[in-house]
Chain A
Amino acid sequence: MSTTPRNRPSAYAIVGWLLAAAVLVGLAVLVALNASSVWNSFFPPEAKSVQGQAIRNLYDIVFAIAVVIFLIVEGLIVWTVIRYRRKPGDDELPPQTHGNNLAEVTWTLIPTAIVIFMFVISLQTLNSVDATSAHPNLKVRAVAGQFQWSFDYLPETATATDTTKPLFTVNVPVGPDGGLVLPAGQTTHLFLRSPDVIHAFYVPQFLFKRDVVPHLVGEADNEFDLDIPAGDAGQTYRGQCAELCGIGHRVMLFEVHILAPADFAAWQQKQIAAANATPPPAPSGAAAGPTIPLVAKNVKFDQASLTAPAAGFTIHYDNQDVGTPHDFVILDNTGAKVYGSPVVTGPKTADFAVPAIPAGTYKFECSIHPTSMFGTLTVQ
């Protein structure tokens, strides 16, 4: 190819510039048509918690500083580029400036002052966001497991390492009968617990997220306070898991419903009553042979092999995984299902009466977690 660069703009260049111009004009038109919504898109949603409002105030300051710095520096780049073009045929060298100590000290000290200012205001906001009330009105533990949220409403004495039973649990994360229900004008203290992988509690309207980190029993949950403004009763916000947790990550949604304090109290009483009314797991099949205990914990069974009589037996099933569903299935050596129990979402115990099955060797498993929860059942 014998093209001399710069003299013959090729077809590609013309197409490229036209495309670029079309895109820029298109964007300009879009922006002009929706000036206010474009402006709003540079800000987070309106904050619906006291902590979120503090974060929003900080965001606005950081945004203002960022825009000013951007305009100055980007403007300087553009101006320099336009102003100092080399004229055709100009072979004279420009002044060979190697540096200027005063300028360099200046543009070290001024940015240092700006970032230290930003650090100080961030720290102040952080202290107010992280502050927790000694006497919150409500304590809730949000439990995030693959791939569902549930919310344990806890007694006043609950702590971050607590394993006692909640007053009641909301198992449905979305919809009018479920979700995280919070009282307006009050302080809720939240604990976050995961039985499996890392999730994150994220509600855009709170401008806040915190990871739900799995840990050993007895280690502290992540915890924080949420103060809901009094005027927001009746509102519903959307929450979502924000830390990749596997194939169902995207569907790990929940809703936050804000109720007036009186409505919340009534709702809470109703939930407690319903929880207490649930009959304890009936010891069904008591006559059917011996009872064999089996614990499901941390997505594992406590035993790898069980021995049972062929005449029938009862599995006393203890699912200790908060918010995680498990079941008990017996498979023969062809993989065919011999027995299947109902699903039990922990923490909960249940007794499964297994009918008489022929003697032999079987596999038992949790059909929801077959790769990690299984063992051998010997029937004699």
Chain B
Amino acid sequence: MINLKAISIVSFILVHFAGANQSNLNVNVSFRYPKATKLKIEFYSVKPEFTFSVARTGVSDSVNKTPADQKIINKFDFTPSKAESSFVLLVKNDSSQTKYFFANPHTYKPESTALSAVFECLCNHHVYTIPPNTVWFRVVRLDVNFDMVPKGSKKLEIVHDFVEVSEADAKSKYKHLIYEQL
């Protein structure tokens, strides 16, 4: 009787973990920066009350006052039972000047995984503003569609090019593209 119970537990664990491994997908969200910029995107978990506030964007004088919770790394594990994740992108401007930036539309590596995930991110043809000594934040969401993940794929990378915009350009040619943030 005990043997039967032990066998069933062991087989459950084996099947469960084998299945989970087969369906796991690791998503790496990365940004490429021009040499001249000192701005960097940081990744934070989202405070529970802001989990569904996707696209909430603003600036604050401290990280604590934003939807950002704990600092995290830019790699996310997904399984069919946990196929989406909200988190916060954060940029600190420690300088005494207002900074402006945008993100070029993201690409997928390898390209064959392009239908595997939907990323509600920050690349929406707008320019963001960070006043001096403030932090900029945006709540984003990553959603994996396991039905479209190519067979055998375990990893994918979502790449954005980060572009810092000069104040002159932000106030002239990109004036109509400035994002209305909180």
Do A and B make up one complex? no
Residues of B within 8 A of A (CB): none
Residues of A within 8 A of B (CB): none
